[in-house]
Structure 1
Amino acid sequence: MANIKSAIKRVEINQKKRTHNIKFKSDMRTQIKRLEKMIDQNDAEGANAALPATFKKIDKAVQKGGIHKNTGNREKSRLAQKINELQSA
């Protein structure tokens, strides 16, 4: 543990930010897993219905600083690609 007052404060602030980010990342990951489960079960209609909600969770995590913008875009791109492959098959 840090001894200097400013370092102690930084540790506390970083802990608060970490717990704040965990909430958004957890929600995002859960939604992505739900969508991927639908894709694995070849449920095209359910996956299409869940896609906007998943994108919304990813965008919210980016907006709140939980993940980087490019990471969010990459996740959305990969999910959209999987759904497009599911529909074309």
Structure 2
Amino acid sequence: MANIKSAKKRIRQTARRTETRRNRVTRIRTFVKKVELAIQAGDKQAAEEAFREAQPVLQRGASKGAIHRNTAARKQSRLVSRIQAL
């Protein structure tokens, strides 16, 4: 455990940031999974609706640094192409 005041503060900040990012990534995974389940069910309209809900979550995750911006773009691109294939 840290003894220096600034080190203790860094530990607190890191813990807070880790929790926030973990929640954001979990939320992204949940929204993407909803789209994938709709695609597997073959319901194009539900998949499009789920994608409209997932897209801002992915963008926000990328802008906040929870995931890389190219990762967010790749996920969106692949989901859109799978939805269009239905």
TM-score normalised according to structure 2 size: 0.86
Q: Show the counterpart of 2:36.
A: 36
Aligned to 1:25: 25
* Count of equivalent residues: 86
- Calculate the aligned-residue CA RMSD, in Å: 1.4
Residue number in structure 1 paired with 2:63: 63
Query: Where does structure 1 lack aligned partners over 5 or more consecutive residues?
Result: none
CA deviations over 1:39-81 (Å, ceiling 9, x no partner)? 0111111111221111111011112221111111111111112
Identity of paired residues, percent? 34
**Offset, 1:14:** 0.9
**One-letter identity of the residue aligned with 2:78:** R
The alignment's TM-score, normalised by the length of structure 1, stands at 0.83
- Tell me, what secondary structure is at the counterpart of 1:65? coil
